[in-house]
Amino acid sequence: MKINSPLEAYKFLPATNCGECGEATCMAFAAHLIDRSHKLTDCKPILEEKFKKKYEELDALLAPEIREVEIGVGDKIAKIGGDDVLYRHKLTFFNQTQFAYDVTDSMDEKDLVERVNYIQDFKKFYVGNFLTVDMIAVRCTSKDPAKFAAAVKKVIETTDLPIILCSFDPAVLKAGLEASKGRNPLLYAANKDNWKEVGELALEYDVPVTLFAPDDLDMLKTLAKTFAAMGTEKLVLDPGTYPTGKQLKKTFTNFIKVRRAGIDGDREIAYPIMAVPFTAWMAHDDPVSASYWETVVASVFTIKYGDIMILHSTEPYAMLPELHIRDTIYTDPRKPVTVDPGMYKVGEPTADSPVLVTTNFALTYYTVESDIASNKIDCFLWAIDTDGIGVEAAVAGGQLTAEKIKKGIEESGFDLKKDTTHNTVVIPGLAARLQGDVEDATGANVMVGPADSGRIPGWMEKNWPPQKK
């Protein structure tokens, strides 16, 4: 993005404050353009003919530094690239790394279908959603265009996931393209030897194409420049993923360099990057070691700028950490993750069960909840609305106060005197200083729990039920 203040974007907007975009003012809308939470097309008036020039100018200014490339079609279409920053806290990373798992055209049909189904069905529940993987990479190991076409055909019959066609032989790629017409596959790959033919295929079939120049950034940039001149910017860059030793260190350096140059404004190389952790299997014979090392390499390049990658291991102990490290890096750091404030029952609480208070910061809440639940303690647990801030910071910052605790308990229709036998609230150890205030505000007994919810079981043993006064 070439501009970084709402004022600069505002200059191009109609300035009518019409509110059609959902924001009260054009200035507010401009701020959302800068943090990329609105698209320019959300502004209907600017799409009118009279604003055409301003629209085009602003659109160009707002374009992300790294080009966005689409692979596949329909619901499962995948977007890669589109980043504007080198560190996630500076904004957020967009378009999470796409994970493609390989099949080959030498597999027998039953194994191929089974593997594709396993890949497309793999899922892991996490914070209200399922984490899933994204693509199938079809490798030509037979060297036979007809065999390759048959494998591609089988894959697209089996899944709607986007596919990557992998061969350095243009004849094989052409056969694959014919077999997957209308599916917008990613071609892998053009290199210094086949670029002319592969480039023509990419143009003819209008599909994205990967440029492969192992450990040669001059060649990589040369290919990218040439393809742009040929007429396509739907490019993905593969600087080569070497699996071990000094070669892997060099690979790491290459990824950093390519992305830094792109973010710094070198348009010739500002494309999404592909990593191929698959190559770990060329360095390890034992499948557990290979899976482990592949996961390690995949993690490095999920964190450092890989936008798409080709993987082999479909062991859960490889896929689960891969999915989670991707979620870690691509979670938008600007949004504090919260749970709905209110009362939660853990286990089967009765009137004798304790009433515990925590914050609605999701991480805090889920930690406390799982610490209690896994120790089979029945209780009422309140998530007090602290704007998603943790206990310690919320006490210091005034988001967790006696009034907030009182309000939180009352609003859920709970009456400490009637609904419990003990009229007692347990506050977090890190909120100990609120004890007196909470007693005054609620009229209840207030006990101070441990600073770490991991210690609740020990604390309960010693302190619950409370001594009658």
Partner 1 sequence: MTKKMKLSQLSDMLQDLNVESLEGVTIEGDIELNITGGGGLNPALAYAIGSEISQISLHMANIGRILGFPAEQLFASAFGMAEAPQAGQLPTSPKIQELLASKFEVAKVDNWKNPIQEVTLGATSGDGGSRKSTVTIGGENALPYYFDAEMPHRNYVTMDVFDMPIGMAKAVKGNYEDVINDPAEWAKKVVRDFNADMVTIHLISTDPLINDTPAKEAAKVVEDVLQAVDVPIVIGGSGNPEKDPEVLEKAAEVAEGERVLLASASLNLDYERIAKAAMDYGHNVLSWTQLEINAQKELNRKLMKQCNVPRERIVMDPTTAALGYGLDYAYTNMERIRLAGLMGDDELTFPMSSGTTNAWGAREAWMVSSPLNQDSDWGPREYRGPIWEIVTGLALSLAGNDMFMMMHPTSVQVLKEITQTLYGSIESEEIDITNWIGAEV
Annotated binding site: 18, 21, 26, 43, 358, 364, 388-391, 453
Closest approach of partner 1 to the CB of residue 279, in Å? 5
**Spatial CB neighbours of 437, under 8 Å, sequence gap ≥ 6:** 401, 402
**Least gap, CB of 46 to partner 1 (angstroms):** 28
> What single-letter amino acid sits at 296?
V
Residues within window 115-174 making contact with partner 1, judged by CB under 8 A: 121-126, 130, 139-141, 143, 166-168
In DSSP notation, 255-293 reads HHHHHHHHHTT-GGG-S-BEE-GGGGGGT--SHHHHHHH
The CA distances from residue 288 to 80, 132, 316, in Å, are 30, 22, 12
- Position 225 contacts partner 1 (CB under 8 A): yes
Q: Which is nearer to partner 1, 74 or 316 (CB)?
A: 316
Give how many residues touch partner 1 by CB under 8 A: 104
Which residues make beta-bridge pairs with 1?
none
* Binding of partner 1 by 306 (CB under 8 A): no
Q: Which of residues 362-381 bind partner 1 (CB under 8 A)?
A: 363, 366-367, 370
Q: The dihedral of CA 394, 398, 399, 403: what is its sign?
A: positive
Residues 6 or more apart whose Cβ sits within 8 Å of residue 53: none
Among 14, 217, 439, 464, binds partner 1 (CB under 8 A): 217
Q: Is residue 85 close enough to count as binding partner 1 by CB under 8 A? A: no
Which is nearer to partner 1, 64 or 214 (by Cβ)?
214
Q: Which of 332, 316, 324, 254 is nearest to 85 (CA)?
A: 332
- Residues 171-200 as x/- pattern, contact with partner 1 by CB under 8 A: -----------------x--xx--xx--x-
CA distances from 45 to 7, 16, 26, 58 (A): 19, 9, 11, 14
Residue closer to partner 1 (CB basis): 31 or 318: 318
Residues 230-289 that bind partner 1 (CB under 8 A): 230-231, 240-249, 252-253, 256-258, 260-261, 264, 266, 268-269, 276, 278-279, 281-283, 288
- CB-neighbour burial class of residue 413 (10 A; exposed 0-12, middle 13-18, buried 19+): exposed
Q: Contact between 89 and partner 1 (CB under 8 A)? A: yes
Q: CA angle 383-387-392, nearest 5°? A: 75
Nearest approach in angstroms of CB 95 to partner 1 is 17
Please give the Cα distance from 362 to 81 (Å, whole number). Answer: 29
Instruction: Looking at residues 11 to 70 of the shown chain, list those that interact with partner 1 (rule: CB under 8 A).
Output: none
CB of 41 to partner 1, least distance (A): 25
Task: State which of residues 32, 54, 324, 407 lies at the interface with partner 1 (CB under 8 A).
Answer: 324
Q: How many CA atoms lie within 13 A of 106 on its CB side?
A: 6
